[in-house]
Chain A
């Protein structure tokens, strides 16, 4: 009886590795979590883009050409779809995670949700303006 209460003393019903394919909500949950890989991918991609800019105009043109190659386009399209999934799920969770009160009244979740999309639009417009010059 020297053993501490560990896993081997408890019976746990084994769960299939594919539990998340059995229900749509589970599937969306796992896809949402997988968006993390694609966010990391875009960080890598953007860093490489900056590197190419640093190496001069030829390197930059080469990079753009390579980015238009079919396999990279597919990866980036899939990655972008996951980023959109991330933003939609992230925004829809915020009103649940955060209760905002204004003058003693709770701000309706729909207003928080809408506000985030306005924010997304404003940020996108500013970035677009900065990049395009």
Chain B
């Protein structure tokens, strides 16, 4: 019964996370993971980035992006394991996928909050 009630919510978050990963993630990944480290584009100076992270709104927005993307990833990977690798331990797989997403979300929450706190001192 519980499963039935929670399933539509997971699918909804899956879609939301999918949209975020398709529209906002590409530019973020491109800039921060490739263009800045590799010097394709000069990164903005540290003070500017620190000012962005110092804004509590950034914390809220980033968590609002991260959590649905993690649910999206966990949900999709769960079915990849079922169908692709044909792992049939459904409960274990679901717990590992959603559990992994929850661990990452908690760690992200902690580090983002910590960065916010450090910069506001």
Contacts and interface: CB of A to CB of B under 8 A. Distances in A.
Decide whether A and B are members of one complex.
Answer: yes
Interface in B25-82: 25-34, 36-39, 43-44, 46, 48-50, 52-53, 62, 66, 69-70, 72-77, 79-80
A72 B37 CA distance: 10
Contacts of A43: 66, 69-70, 73, 104, 108
Interface in B73-121: 73-77, 79-80, 83-86, 100-101, 104, 107-108, 111-112, 114-119
B53 A80 contact: no
A68 B25 contact: no
Nearest to A128: B27
Chain A interface main SS type: helix
A48 B17 CA distance: 20
Given A53-B50, A73-B38, A90-B18, A36 B80 contact: yes
Nearest to A119: B23
Contact of A67 (B37, B52, B86, B114): B37
B53 A54 contact: yes
B114 A51 contact: yes
B52 A51 contact: no
A3 interface: no
B108 A39 contact: no
Given A30-B84, A34-B80, A60-B49, A54 B26 contact: no
B21 A39 contact: yes
A28 interface: no
A79 B33 contact: yes
A39 B107 contact: no
Interface of B: 17-19, 21-34, 36-39, 43-44, 46, 48-50, 52-53, 62, 66, 69-70, 72-77, 79-80, 83-86, 100-101, 104, 107-108, 111-112, 114-119
The 5 closest A-B pairs by CB, nearest first: A54-B115, A67-B37, A36-B76, A87-B22, A40-B73
